[in-house]
Amino acid sequence: MIKIGILGYGNLGKGVEAAIKKNSDMELAAVYTRRDPKSLAIKTAGAAVKSTADLDAGKEDIDVLVICGGSATDLPEMTPKYAAMYNVIDSFDTHARIPEHFSNVDKASKKAGKIGIISCGWDPGMFSLNRVYAKSVLPDGAAYTFWGKGVSQGHSDAVRRIDGVKDCRQYTIPVPEALEKVRNGEDPELSTREKHTRECFVVAEDGADLEKIENEIKSMPNYFADYDTTVNFISEEEMKQNHSGLPHGGSVIHSGTSSDGNRHVIEYSLKLDSNPEFTGSVLIAYARAAFRLNAEGVTGAKTVLDIAPAYLSQKSGEELRAHSL
Amino acid sequence: MIKIGILGYGNLGKGVEAAIKKNSDMELAAVYTRRDPKSLAIKTAGAAVKSTADLDAGKEDIDVLVICGGSATDLPEMTPKYAAMYNVIDSFDTHARIPEHFSNVDKASKKAGKIGIISCGWDPGMFSLNRVYAKSVLPDGAAYTFWGKGVSQGHSDAVRRIDGVKDCRQYTIPVPEALEKVRNGEDPELSTREKHTRECFVVAEDGADLEKIENEIKSMPNYFADYDTTVNFISEEEMKQNHSGLPHGGSVIHSGTSSDGNRHVIEYSLKLDSNPEFTGSVLIAYARAAFRLNAEGVTGAKTVLDIAPAYLSQKSGEELRAHSL
């Protein structure tokens, strides 16, 4: 059994816990939390709930630590810190800072003889794999990534910070005409606005100025200003009833030619009922790879691009060749 | 520059030649043929055309030999033979015999200090990758593979062997209702007949008994008897005009759950204008991997499941992390 530790018990940590239950070669050893461990009720009988401070001696009996923190401030500090003691894996998703994060984790984990897999999930993660496979097979083509329809937690949070907003759920939606053009192999030039629209469901405080809220959302730089955004004000009951899940998904579509007349379209798409549970499922498959690779003596930072697919599977090479190839 | 040799100049060999032109780090060194080399006009200026006998001394100046033979009799003999002298890659696709083929190539290439990548293309190949990735991430789900709409060369050949048939093009077509059920995550039980239909376009000889031909096709064991098959008799002109390409494609769809209520659907699909040119493009990306892995000292037989995605790309690890992850 591969013994997994989870650091952080928010949506993602719970998603990792759910994924472990689906993998018969794994067990949850402990959840580590910055909160009071006594305040946490986890869903796995027999697993410990401990304080993050317990990790610091580097003596916890875990094979891989799955670090479920935020990319803005948690992971840049946590992943290198724990990579110096344990095999670790995270879902760091600030694309622009990946090279720096990789380098920090690489130094720490190499020194410790451990492995650290960073930026694992679906984007970065499964989508990255598909961008690289497709571009390698058809080098002259372009890969387009579309997200949604799904809930963007970052955009929902941004709206929640506006005065007079009690709650918000923001859906990112690919523009059907853009998808269609890419699927037809037209290689279109697409602006940000032409690729996705954004739809907000907002619960406002009593007496709030709805027009002002709507304007503040639509003009918010980076988050909404470059998109066509729709704002719907709803009741708390409607929010609870219709928008309590965290579905997401999207597509990576690459089209390219092999000779002048012949075009090929490669599409990878995901439809996810729960973004954090699917991300947790990817993390757990790569946790298996981390365990195996480190057992073979591999150390340092890795991404999904550095890991052969067979390492993710519970099956042996022989079984895979006989049944899955 | 990675120097590629192509063994066999049929549709697939030509597809590999077309793919090389799209990869700036590769060059076609030579085409090896069992025919009279003087009878072959290839499309690459500066590349040699030689006899397969020239390979036998093991001294050809090539980094990777791409073996473009048939799976029934050519590859089981050729790939182990040349794996004893060169880095090789093939598209062996007789699924049931892959373990035996792997073992033969493994012995030969390990002894020679070379690498041999087998069963590379899109199925086996890119579809295998997607079956394994999806099943590893969502272990409790089932993966469904659909082929088409596209030309099956094996089925077209089978019809051509019938008395009174001058030419045939057979299309394999997924059943839309089956696709729909799988995409909806219904995990249906599907018989062979429920997954695909077959459509034949046949040019008959003058005065041939059309009814007899149609019956012979529809009752042919393995090829057609288990399917709903449509037979259309057409003229030679119509065949030339509307059915001269070799398009193909298909989908691998996997649906599984991460916790009781949450289902996820992963779909990978290909729409290919030319089956042999796309297969050639996959072979060439993996030829790059073969060259790099062998330069690192890796020997023996490998499949797509054993190779990390970064090895396929022209870009360095740093570039991939900065731009594609």
Are A270 and B272 inside 8 Å of each other by CB? no
Mean pLDDT value of segment A287-309: 98
Residues in chain A with CB shorter than 8 Å from the CB of B275 are none
The whole-chain average pLDDT of chain B stands at 97
Q: Beta strand A142-147 with A150-151: parallel, antiparallel or unpaired?
A: unpaired
Q: For position A212, what pLDDT does the model report?
A: 98
Name the residue facing A325 among B95, B258, B277 (closest C-beta).
B95
Within 13 Å of residue A77, how many CA atoms lie on the same side as its CB? 5
Strand partners, A268: A252, B268
Assess whether pLDDT exceeds 80 at residue B162: yes
Taking the Cβ of residue B275 and every Cβ of chain A, the question of whether any pair is shorter than 8 Å is answered with no
pTM of the model: 0.96
| Chain B: closest CA distance from residue A233 (Å) | 27
Task: Report the b/e string of B74-103 with b at 16+ CB within 10 A.
Answer: bbbebbbbbbbbbbbbbbbbebebbeebbe
Assess whether pLDDT exceeds 80 at residue A260: no
Name the residue facing A22 among B119, B140, B274 (closest C-beta).
B140
Whole-Å CA distances, A95 to A8, A141, A169, B302, B321: 22, 22, 24, 32, 9
In which band, very low, low, confident or very high, does the pLDDT at B281 lie, cut at 50, 70 and 90? very high
Single-letter amino acid, residue A252: V
CA distance B25 to B64: 13
Mean pLDDT value of segment B78-95: 97
Assess whether pLDDT exceeds 90 at residue B261: no
Task: Please enumerate in sequence order all residues whose Cβ is within 8 A of that of A284, keeping only pairs 6 or more positions apart, or say none.
Answer: A4, A16, A19, A20, A23, A26, A66
Q: For position B35, what pLDDT does the model report?
A: 95
Name the residue facing A98 among B99, B312, B325 (closest C-beta).
B325
CA distance A274 to A173: 16
DSSP state of B60: -
The model's pLDDT over A28-56, given as tens digits with 9 standing for 90+, comes to 999 999 999 999 999 999 999 999 999 99
Name the residue facing A272 among B22, B98, B264 (closest C-beta).
B264
Are A258 and B268 inside 8 Å of each other by CB? no
Mean pLDDT value of segment B119-146: 96
**Of residues B95 and A281, more confidently modeled:** A281
Within 13 Å of residue A85, how many CA atoms lie on the same side as its CB? 17
Q: For position B208, what pLDDT does the model report?
A: 97
The model's pLDDT over B264-276, given as tens digits with 9 standing for 90+, comes to 999 999 999 999 9
Mean pLDDT value of segment B133-147: 95
Taking the Cβ of residue B258 and every Cβ of chain A, the question of whether any pair is shorter than 8 Å is answered with yes
CA distance B325 to B322: 7
Query: Which residues of B36-180 form beta strands (DSSP E)?
Result: 48-51, 64-67, 88-90, 115-117, 142-147, 150-151, 165-174
Helix (H, G, I), strand (E, B) or coil at A169: strand
| Chain B: closest CA distance from residue A164 (Å) | 33
In which band, very low, low, confident or very high, does the pLDDT at A13 lie, cut at 50, 70 and 90? very high
Percent of chain B's residues with pLDDT above 70: 100
Assess whether pLDDT exceeds 90 at residue B245: yes
Q: For position B142, what pLDDT does the model report?
A: 85
User: What is the ipTM metric for this complex?
Assistant: 0.96
Are A305 and B305 inside 8 Å of each other by CB? no
In which band, very low, low, confident or very high, does the pLDDT at A138 lie, cut at 50, 70 and 90? very high
Taking the Cβ of residue A280 and every Cβ of chain B, the question of whether any pair is shorter than 8 Å is answered with yes
Taking the Cβ of residue A259 and every Cβ of chain B, the question of whether any pair is shorter than 8 Å is answered with yes
With CA atoms as reference, the chain A residue closest to B308 would be: A308
Strand partners, A253: A144, A267
Assess whether pLDDT exceeds 80 at residue B278: yes
Assess whether pLDDT exceeds 80 at residue B260: no
The model's pLDDT over A150-161, given as tens digits with 9 standing for 90+, comes to 999 999 999 999
**Of residues B95 and A8, more confidently modeled:** A8
Assess whether pLDDT exceeds 90 at residue A9: yes
